[in-house]
């Protein structure tokens, strides 16, 4: 396997795989990870030979979301989550994106996968919108996309409680996303990608643009509200203490 944090591979018939594989940081949102993933999507978006993207992680992780350093910077007001726009990469990609979430999706890492056009989950993997575990309100467009993809009852429960769920739990709760065993996730995603790649690129781009237009129109308003909530909730001393406690430092 490549030692690159983000590996871009041409598979077949216009299918491009973007594999996130920063094992040292469990695909957390480090500066290098953000730059690599943003660059990969920028490259794919410009390529006329690409028809579909498969976004996946490694082994037991899809993405663990915010790092301790990143959360500290948010607490200190040095950055906002909009400065590092990962959440809309899949949404704004002109061609369809299939997220093969074979491993755990934590916080922003979970939300990032929800913005894909097709999202495949693993029965065994853990998924959580754990922002409130740190004492601050959710960001990255989660208050918008989670109700859209999971339904409002489950999404609100996830965000309020910061509880963890396995894909199996989602299946029992009637989530309308493909949820299969971990070893089947990538192949399921590739099958979906092959079906998409059979279509003309211009038709895929045109239809995706149409289908995502309402989402792209509504998202900025939710982002503004999330930033406003962060101004109220992120800079509490208790938040800093919780960040240190969760990361054990």
Tell me if 176 sits within 8 A of 154, measured CB to CB: no
Residues in the chain: 249
Active-site residue, from 104, 156, 210, 230: 230
Active site residue 210: no
H or E, element range at 249: none
Tell me if 169 sits within 8 A of 122, measured CB to CB: no
DSSP assignment of 175-216: --S-EE-HHHHHHHHHHHHHHHHTS-HHHHHHHHHHHHHHHH
- Give CA 64 to chain center in angstroms: 10
Alpha helices in 65-181 (DSSP H): 68-76, 89-92, 108-114, 142-150, 152-161, 167-172
Tell me if 38 sits within 8 A of 75, measured CB to CB: no
Report the catalytic residues: 230
């Amino acid at each position: 396997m490549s030692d690159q944090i983000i590996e871009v591979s041409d598979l077949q018939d216009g299918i491009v795989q973007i594999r996130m594989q920063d094992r040292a940081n469990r695909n957390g949102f480090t500066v290098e990870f953000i730059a690599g993933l943003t660059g990969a999507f920028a490259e794919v978006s410009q390529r006329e030979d690409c028809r579909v993207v498969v976004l996946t992680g490694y082994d037991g992780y899809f993405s663990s979301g915010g790092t301790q350093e990143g959360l500290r910077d948010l607490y200190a007001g040095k950055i906002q989550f909009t400065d590092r726009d990962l959440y809309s990469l899949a949404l704004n990609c002109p061609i369809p994106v299939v997220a093969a979430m074979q491993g755990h999706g934590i916080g922003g890492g979970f939300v990032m996968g929800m913005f894909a056009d097709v999202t495949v989950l693993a029965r065994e993997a853990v998924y959580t919108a754990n922002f409130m575990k740190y004492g601050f309100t959710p960001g990255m467009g989660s208050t918008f996309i989670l109700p859209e993809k999971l339904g409002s009852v489950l999404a609100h429960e996830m965000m309020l409680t910061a509880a963890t769920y396995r894909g199996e739990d989602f299946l029992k709760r009637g989530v309308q996303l493909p949820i299969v065993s971990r070893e089947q996730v990538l192949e399921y995603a590739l099958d979906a990608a092959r079906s998409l790649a059979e279509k003309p690129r211009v038709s895929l781009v045109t239809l995706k643009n149409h289908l995502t237009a309402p989402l792209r129109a509504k998202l900025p308003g939710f982002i503004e509200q999330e930033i406003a909530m962060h101004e109220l909730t992120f800079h509490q001393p208790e938040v800093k203490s919780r960040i240190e406690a969760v990361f054990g430092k």
